Structure 1
Amino acid sequence: MKNRLILLLLTVTIFSACSKKVLSPYAATNKIYSEHADSLSQALLAESPAMLSDSLGKPIPSEWVGTVNFNLRKPNYVIIHYTAQDSTGQTLRTFTLVKPQVSAHYVIGKDGKVVHMLNDYMRAWHAGISKWGSISDMNSCSIGIELDNKGNEPFSTAQMNSLLTLLAKLKKDYNIPTANFIGHGDIAPGRKPDPGILFPWELLAKKGFGYYSDIIIVPAPVNFDSATALRLIGYDTRNLPAAIGAFKRHFVQREDSTRLTQFDLDVLFNVYQKY
């Protein structure tokens, strides 16, 4: 009996030790996520009338009547980034600290592992100060995907395979238009370069995620207005050299510069007609 009791105690001890080992290192931040999500859900469930008053301070009559026609706001853009950090683990740590004030919906490692960090319907803090077309708050309408890459290295095959699979799911789930798969550098020219000149945009375009220039390019006309073309694509042209640089990193990918060559103009003429 005594031996059985000792064996039982040893089993419990070993089980407890193993349980501690498999405990997620992000258990604490996952708990914070759940608590924050719960508080947001309470805000969504609030059924309060608008409390308004006129210029004299007199209450304006109001009441709550719930409509039966509604759903969640859905993302309409996907913004692709590189992490510019040493590892997926370092990025996960950054995104689970309060001080950096940055986040993303997904992080994809070099090995192809996909880490989902935020519900797709929630607003991540990945775009920062940015603009695309008439949209100046990209965080509110987009999904942010971070790729484990420093920006000066090729993207691994496993990573790209996972990205393409994820993009296919997002495009189907939210009916995201082909043109709306873009990079951080596109929406923040002059401030951010990612996913960089090495990112395989042509591959994505072949799969239906964003546009790219055709192999056979019709030369741009002599009077071609490059600034207007960039603006019509979506670029913020208030800093025209920065917009040119962002365009070239995405659609030309030969050199990282802010000067338009004749070849660049031809590519721009080809691309802008797709938008």
Structure 2
Amino acid sequence: MTIIDTPSPNHDERLGPITMIVLHYTGMVDAESAIARLRDPVAKVSAHYLVAEDGTVLRMVDESRRAWHAGASHWRDVDDVNSASVGIEIVNPGHEFGYRPFPDEQIAAVVRLVSAIKDRYGITRGNIVGHSDVAPARKRDPGELFPWHSLARLRLALPRPTKNLMDPGWTQGGFLLALERFGYDVTDPMAAIMAFQRRFRPEMLDGEIDAECRMILLALLLPKPQGDE
């Protein structure tokens, strides 16, 4: 895979080992605008990599350094997600500027990049997440159109469970406790529920806890969730 070095000055020292990959969309009108912002010292944002729609990969921050991509965020027992993760920006205008499906060439490049990083650091599938997973109250990216199933089939992300599903009948409080146990920050319950749906049930983002949501979450908490991988 060819990677083009396009350095950003926005980085600092990591405070822990790499255990996560966080996927974003750029959410800007075009790639040029996104690249300029990620390299602007005034903006104070960056990512380790950017993947263009044609599959071109830019390296903006060395993996040994802490890029500034996740902001205030949390996943499982990690509060400094920037220190623990490699951040990948995927060019897409996002919900604000005309959200659209991700081209096949782009996803193929994302798959190659994620696979290499996962192997390099021994990252588990459950720690390959979206920005909305680690910051549900603030972010929606990479969004409901991102093809997580393409990564799951290659064991580069958790699958959406589809087999041996059972409804545990949790109350709302029980569901939120389970969601927190799985990894989400549930301080804003509605945002956390919608982030979970965006990731694992993207066809219906209503913020309502129903039987399907309960069954999917229960399956994800089991040692080996089974889906259409």
Q: Report if TM-score (shorter chain) is over 0.5.
A: yes
Match of 1:264 in 2: 213
- Do residues 129 (structure 1) and 72 (structure 2) align? yes
Aligned to 2:88: 145
| Contact 1:217/1:267, CA 8 A, preserved across alignment | no
Contact 1:217 1:266 in 2 (8 A): no
Provide closer, same or farther for how the CA distance between residues 78 and 138 of structure 1 changes in structure 2, counting only shifts above 3 A: same
Match of 1:114 among 50, 54, 57: 57
**Structure 2: stretches of 5+ with no match in the other structure:** 1-5, 225-229
Greater relative contact order (Cα < 8 A, sep 6+): 2
C-alpha displacement of 1:255: 2.1
CA distance in 1, matches of 2:121, 2:213: 33
Say whether 1:165 aligns with 2:112: yes
Match of 1:187 among 134, 143, 146: 134
Higher mean alpha-carbon deviation, 86-95 vs 111-120, is at 86-95
CA change 1:223–1:189 in 2 (3 A) is closer
Find the residue that maps to 1:222 and give its secondary structure: coil
2:47 corresponds to which of 80, 92, 104: 104
Match of 1:93 in 2: 36
Query: Which of 18, 23, 47 pairs up with 1:75?
Result: 18
Q: Deviation at 1:256?
A: 2.3
CA distance in 2, matches of 1:107, 1:207: 21
Shift of 1:184: 0.4
**Per-residue deviation at 1:92?**
0.9
TM-score (norm 2): 0.86
Structure with a larger share of its residues in strand: 2
- Cα separation, 2, equivalents of 1:222 and 1:257: 19
CA contact (8 A) 1:88 1:108 kept: no
Q: For residue 251 of structure 1, what is the aligned residue in structure 2?
A: 200
Name the CA shift for 1:92/1:223 in 2 (closer, same or farther; >3 Å).
closer
Which amino acid in 2 is paired with 1:163?
V
Deviating above 4 A after TM superposition, structure 1's stretches of 4 or more consecutive aligned residues are none
Contact 1:230–1:272 (CA under 8 A) maintained in structure 2: no
Q: Determine the C-alpha separation between the residues in 2 that align with 1:76 and 1:263.
A: 30
**More helix per residue: 1 or 2?**
1
Q: Secondary structure at the match of 1:263?
A: helix
Q: Does the aligned pair in 1 maintain the 2:52–2:90 contact within 8 Å?
A: yes
CA RMSD in angstroms, aligned pairs only: 2.3
User: How far does residue 223 in structure 1 lie from its aligned partner after superposition?
Assistant: 4.2
Question: Over alpha carbons, which structure has the higher Rg?
Answer: 1
Q: Which whole-Å deviations, capped at 9, do the CAs of 1:137-180 have from their partners, x for residues lacking one? A: 10011000000012321011000000000111101111111211
CA contact (8 A) 1:75 1:143 kept: yes
Partner of 2:124: 177
Aligned-residue offset at 1:212: 2.1
Task: Say whether the 8 Å CA contact 1:109–1:159 is kept in structure 2.
Answer: yes
Given candidates 227, 239, 264, the residue that maps to 2:188 is 239
Please, what TM-score do these two structures have when normalized by structure 1? 0.72
- Say how many residue pairs are matched: 213
How big is the shift at 1:217? 4.4
Describe the SS at the equivalent of 2:50. strand
Distance in 1 (alpha carbons) for counterparts of 2:21 and 2:114: 8
- Spell out, residue by residue over 1:22-58, the C-alpha distance to the aligned partner (whole angstroms, 9 max, x if none): xxxx7xxx5x85xx99xx8xx9xxxxxxxxxxxxxxx
Q: Does 1:220 align with 2:163?
A: no
- Unaligned 5+ runs, structure 1: 1-25, 44-71
Contact 1:81 1:183 in 2 (8 A): yes
- When structure 1 is superposed on structure 2, of 90-99 and 222-231 the one drifting more is 222-231
Identity %: 32
Aligned-residue offset at 1:215:
2.5
